[in-house]
Amino acid sequence: MHFFYKTLFIRKIKMSDKHTKTDVILIGAGIMSATLGSLIKELAPDWEITIFERLEKAGEESSNEWNNAGTGHAALCELNYTPEKLDGSIDINKAVKINEQFNVSKQFWSYLVDRHLIEDPQEFIMPLPHMSLVHGEENVSFLKKRFEALSSHPLFEEMEFSEDPEKLKEWIPLIMEDRTSNQPIAATKIDSGTDVNFGALTHKMLDYLQSQYTNIFYNQSVEKIKRTDDGGWEVKVRDVKSGTIEYHTAKFLFIGAGGGSLPLLQKTGIPESKHIGGFPVSGLFLVCNDPEIVEQHHAKVYGKAAVGAPPMSVPHLDTRYIDNKKSLLFGPFAGFSPKFLKTGSNMDLLRTIKTYNVLTMLAAGAKNIPLTKYLVEQLMLSKEQRIEELREFIPNAKAEDWDIIVAGQRVQVIKDTEEGGKGALQFGTEVVSAADGSVAALLGASPGASTAVHVMLEVLEKCFPQYMPEWESKIKEMIPSYGVSLEDNPELIHEVQNATDMTLGLGKKARLLQEA
């Protein structure tokens, strides 16, 4: 009898119908929710914010420092952001746009540091040269044209170019050592690049939010999402450890769950969630922690993707600062897994295929057979084959000096577009929101975290247009370039960059100290 009543008690707890109201619900405790929450708390300090995270800690998926390359994506070294046009000229529009967006992020981080809302910027951002490296006459010609196009722009005026092997030995000694190829080689270098620990930054911003009485709940899985009669949203949340069910309602819901955002967006049932699918891509990196090797390289060096390879596979050799320790990472090596998160299920992909997006998904599959083949081939590579690819960068690399780590899962957006037709695979970050602005979700991948502040401002503009006039002056206090094109205001570029560099420790003095 005692066992019977005990069982009833446990079942009653698990079936709890607790209902809680809040102003804003954020799903996922990663860099995106941390950024949006921090912006809202500064703009509307009286609003109550609640965050739900399925894992035990914050920033453990795409925001985790080991699950991404930590590149402050500013288009300083990523060649895929500057395509060559049919007439042979270089299109720098996307590079300029991404650089401006990263500058927006740095301004907001600087604001948080200046006001002691977060501390110790060197724990999440470090100055580090960004470089592009190419081999072969055709690629060298492309890089030189790219340099000429970018360096004439105020945002990239510090960029240097060299095809002199002696100069390259100064810039990248580890890469140039024992290099015997007679192929032409060239590189660009810009010292204003950064290495960003997005995991550490996420924790700092969430610590700030908690100090402002934000509710952050871990081990909480959002099971259902439904519209309330008053136009808000109700989420059914299950404690993954105890099984307890609770219901929470809010006027505004944001889904920032990385690869897990798509299935959660589908649960809302909004029309904007239709005809959208996701294609998961896994990745691996080679990592070296040998101090003698690590100290020979001080840069993020991006190469050019192989013919037929997707943009997310651009090879790069990166210096990383994680927990005050330098490492080298090389990759990424792409692969395929049906999981949408590292901690996800092998059923994730199948569960997102619905009657309303099945044709979109089938069209994408038909269009991307070469991509699928490429991913499978990458997945089958042995460690020695991966080391051989590394030797394109470090000719004398030894397998025993490098370990393999599994990077984060990425879910590329698939949708119907005018340009790409049905089932077009998207490479980038995208906000999907309801027409009334009551719910928004972030989908996609790179440049992702680097442009988080710009993207979350886009969420605010889409979802809270009625508040933007009264918020504008505060936003400009946080982000001086808000509403202004840096491209058209070179004086503002220098003013903003000097201010953020001083606060974040990214100026020339900081770079010299790091190199020493």
pLDDT score at 18: 76
Residue 300: both structure tokens together: 């993020």
Residue 423, judged by CB atoms within 10 A of its CB (0-12, 13-18, 19+), counts as: buried
Provide the residue ranges of all domains of the chain, joining segments of one domain with +: 275-426
Residue 151's closest CA among 183, 194, 195, 192?
Answer: 192
pTM of the full predicted structure?
0.93
pLDDT at 14 over 70: no
Q: What is the mean pLDDT of residues 453-464?
A: 97
Displacement of CA 341 from its chain's centroid (Å)? 14
Residue 397's closest CA among 388, 406, 405?
Answer: 388
Kindly report, residue by residue over 122-164, the tens digit of the pLDDT. Answer: 999 999 999 999 999 999 999 999 999 999 999 999 999 999 9
For the CA atoms of the chain, what is the radius of gyration? 24
Average pLDDT over the chain, rounded to an integer: 91
Kindly report, residue by residue over 64-83, the tens digit of the pLDDT. Answer: 999 988 998 999 999 999 99
Kindly report, residue by residue over 20-74, the tens digit of the pLDDT. Answer: 999 999 999 999 999 999 999 999 999 999 999 999 999 999 999 999 889 989 9
pLDDT at 6 over 50: no
CA angle 274, 278, 284 (to 5 degrees): 165
Residue 199, judged by CB atoms within 10 A of its CB (0-12, 13-18, 19+), counts as: buried
Q: What is the mean pLDDT of residues 216-227?
A: 97
User: What are the start-end ranges of the E strands in 401-507?
Assistant: 403-406, 410-417, 421-425, 429-433, 439-444
Kindly report, residue by residue over 503-513, the tens digit of the pLDDT. Answer: 999 976 565 65
